[in-house]
Amino acid sequence: MTDRLYYNGRVFTGCSDDADADAFRVSGDGTFSWAGHFEGDPPEGSVDLGGRFVLPGLIEAHEHALIVAGIASASPCTIPAVRNIDDMVELLRRNPNFGKGPDAWITGWGYDETKLAERRTPTRHDLDRVSTTQPVYVIRSDCHSGICNTRALELAGVTRDTPDPKVGAFGRDPDGTPNGVLFELEANARVRNLAEKPDFESVVRTIAASARHFHERGYAVTTEMMARLAPLNHLRAFREAEKLGFDLQAALYLVWEGKADPFGMRDLLPEEKTGRVRFAGLKLFADGSVSGRTAWVNRPYSDGTTGLSTLDLPTLAAAYEYARRNALQLSIHVMGDRSLDRIIDFFADKDPWLDGIPSVRLEHVTLISRAQLARMRRGRMSWGATTQVIFAFAEIESYREALVPEVFKEIYPVRMLESELGPLALSSDSPATTWMDPDDMAVSLEAAVTRRAYEGSSINAAQSIPVGKALRLYTGRASGIFRTEVPAGRIAAGCEADFNVMSADPFGMEPEDLRNLRVDEAYMRGEKVFARR
């Protein structure tokens, strides 16, 4: 097969902030061989784009692809469908597993107690109204905490005598009996690991089936930010899914479970760090969330608290040593500026250990100052970041409630990050967002450009960025955060021929309509993989 020419389009190549080409060529090996301006008679077999807008295949730089893949059978306990606890109970009773016997888990995702009319976290007493015979489990919007019913607590063996983990806790009734609220990762995992303990084959099938979800939304590259080696090796699962048709490139980040002791994770094999799906890094959590007031901040929240650190220095040091030895990136969840200070201090005298991509990537950076960016630049370390304006878009009420006004007006400074930090991506952190279709790029795009929340109020409007810059943070700029087997995120010679024909030209849309932008056709490696009917 010779090169195929696509011409007469509005082509955003991801190499600049504008639609800077009208044509491109795709070669027989599934990569782009050229992009630019075409004049003259197109050869036979060329494709007339009819003036339509084309984007490179998108990069979702911070996502939980496994949870997204698994969400199919879990009930979305989010706005607009769920506005109070009765709605949630009702919705869970319509879960496909309802009535399927005592071993069938009824699961949901995405609740946020601040969005519920009752403004409290549902407990087992609420979820027992869904079922007393079947286990029920719902993961919170932040994917850190969860809630479950009495049956689920029984199956997990969590009783009055079960001690709380070091970080987080089991919520309790006044008499000390666990009330079904599972605060933070460790407590949450006690139940979650049972609820989501499908056999290897069904995980593989779920991943394979999720390719369509990603194609419809225009993604060619995705990430799994909480991957594991055991009990289920997620890399192996993705690779089996590739045989069943999963065709995206994917970067997997291993949750650091080594703590500070030397008996942590085994070293990785070279073949685990190459290929279309690969282990790309380690994931650490330095703090919680701003909306939940668990991010560690320099200036107190409106209730006078300052959040907490979930990362001690010996653990950070052990993870750093492991990452260097294994040539992996360190990805650090850091929302609060106080946590960030400590991370900047730690790396102040350290050298980068990876070439061409940042050795350390910061996730979310809800609060980051110009002074902190300057300190980062003064050291030798190479930094990258992902940030999620969609959090504030969807969770505006909790941000407004948690933060005093002076701090609120500094959140998600995307304009500053965009101009001061090279490797930067906008992303959704899906499904860790209380929104019904959280990894719809168009919603993040609208939030970044308009800086308005879903209900119309302003989110620090001075940090708005133009639409072209926002698109680049999902394409060309995002491609600088981590490496892929075949270069991606740009329509340029040598990059994988992943592209999307869009429903409209976002440069011509009203900013407040951007969320309606859709993928009409998606192509991977030059082949059409999705067409909207």
Site string for Zn ion, 168-207 (x = CB under 5 A): ----------------------------------------
DSSP 392-461: HHHSHHHHHHHS-HHHHTTS--HHHHHHH-SSEEE---TTSSSSSSTT-HHHHHHHHHH-B-TTS-BS-G
CA distance 10 to 189: 47
| Tally of CB atoms within 10 A around 236 | 15
Q: Is 286 in the site for Zn ion (CB under 5 A)?
A: no
The residue (of 224 and 337) whose beta carbon lies closer to Zn ion is: 224
Q: Is 61 in the site for Zn ion (CB under 5 A)?
A: no
Given the rule CB under 5 A, which of 35-43, 223-231, 251-259, 271-279 is the region that contacts Zn ion?
A: 223-231
CA distance 459 to 295: 19
Given the rule CB under 5 A, which of 76-84, 220-228, 242-250, 344-352 is the region that contacts Zn ion?
A: 220-228
Q: Is 319 in the site for Zn ion (CB under 5 A)?
A: no
The C-alpha angle with vertex 341 and arms to 340 and 345, in degrees rounded to 5, equals 115
Q: Is 287 in the site for Zn ion (CB under 5 A)?
A: no
The residue (of 242 and 429) whose beta carbon lies closer to Zn ion is: 429
Given the rule CB under 5 A, which of 83-91, 294-302, 334-342, 428-436 is the region that contacts Zn ion?
A: 428-436
The residue (of 331 and 450) whose beta carbon lies closer to Zn ion is: 331
CA distance 514 to 443: 7
- The residue whose Cβ lies closest to Zn ion is 429
Q: Is 521 in the site for Zn ion (CB under 5 A)?
A: no
Give the one residue of 429, 446, 496, 521 binding Zn ion; rule: CB under 5 A.
429
Q: Is 225 in the site for Zn ion (CB under 5 A)?
A: yes
* DSSP 8-state secondary structure symbol assigned to residue 478: G
Helix 370-378 to helix 337-347 angle, to the nearest 10 degrees? 10
Torsion of Cα atoms, 334 then 340 then 345 then 351, to 10°: 50
Given the rule CB under 5 A, which of 19-27, 154-162, 408-416, 429-437 is the region that contacts Zn ion?
A: 429-437
Q: Work out how close the CB of 223 gets to Zn ion at its nearest, in angstroms, rounded to a whole number.
A: 9
Q: Work out how close the CB of 429 gets to Zn ion at its nearest, in angstroms, rounded to a whole number.
A: 4
Residue 469 one-letter amino acid: K
The residue (of 225 and 465) whose beta carbon lies closer to Zn ion is: 225
CB 125 within 8 A of CB 92: no
Q: Is 139 in the site for Zn ion (CB under 5 A)?
A: no
Q: Is 242 in the site for Zn ion (CB under 5 A)?
A: no
Continuous segment of H or E residues that includes residue 531: strand 527-531
The residue (of 153 and 414) whose beta carbon lies closer to Zn ion is: 414
The C-alpha angle with vertex 445 and arms to 440 and 449, in degrees rounded to 5, equals 160
User: How many residues sit close enough to Zn ion to count as binding (CB under 5 A)?
Assistant: 3
Interface of this chain with Zn ion, residues 432 to 491, rule: CB under 5 A: 432
CA distance 233 to 40: 53
Structure tokens at 366: 């809800």
Q: Is 344 in the site for Zn ion (CB under 5 A)?
A: no
Binding site for Zn ion (CB under 5 A): 225, 429, 432
